[in-house]
Amino acid sequence: MKILIINGPNLNLLGKREPGIYGTMSFDQYFDSLKTLYPIVDLSYFQSNNEGDLLDCLHKEGFNQDGIILNAGAYTHTSVAIADAIAAINSPVIEVHISNVYKRETFRHHSFLSPVVKGVIAGFGMESYRLALEAFINQD
């Protein structure tokens, strides 16, 4: 099973960025622990701060992954282009958020992506990614 994790803007700073909200672990550390926990999954990871690079990645990978776990960061709340890319590809996408966006500012309550993804997981810290992975593994 091929699963790609895509992180959007500012998520390269996980571990340093607002640790009270996003925790103290870097994504590289967390990604290594996921690979150890799920050796049967062909797991890869891409991060970019640029919307166009995220679109290019979705276009390139969105026809050959069994699933994509996407944390689009702030683009979740702004990007019609990312929503259109998700609608255009074949691979199912799970939208994830580390924080519970519904407990935060109202501008974080709207997602352009939610209507075009398979499901949404938010608020479980870094474990949101693992729960999304479990959802792909356990689907029929």
Give catalytic residue positions: 22, 97
Considering only residues 2 through 21, tell me which ones interact with ligand DQA, judged by CB under 6 A: 10
User: CA distances (Å), 83 to each of 47, 76, 100, in order?
Assistant: 17, 9, 20
What is the size of the binding site for ligand DQA (CB under 6 A)? Answer: 10
Nearest distance from residue 53's CB to ligand DQA, in Å? 16
Q: What is the 3-state secondary structure (H, E, C) of 49-84?
A: CCHHHHHHHHHHHCCCCCEEEEECHHHHHCCHHHHH
Considering only residues 96 through 115, tell me which ones interact with ligand DQA, judged by CB under 6 A: 97-99, 101, 108
Residue 98, annotated as binding a ligand: yes
- The pair of three-digit structure tokens given for residue 137, joined into one six-digit string: 């593994």
Question: Is residue 71 at the binding interface for ligand DQA, with CB under 6 A as the rule?
Answer: yes
- Residue range at the interface with ligand DQA (CB under 6 A); choices 32-40, 58-66, 67-75, 131-139: 67-75
Closest CA to 87 of 130, 67, 117: 117
Q: For binding to ligand DQA (CB under 6 A), which residues are involved? A: 10, 71, 73-74, 76, 97-99, 101, 108
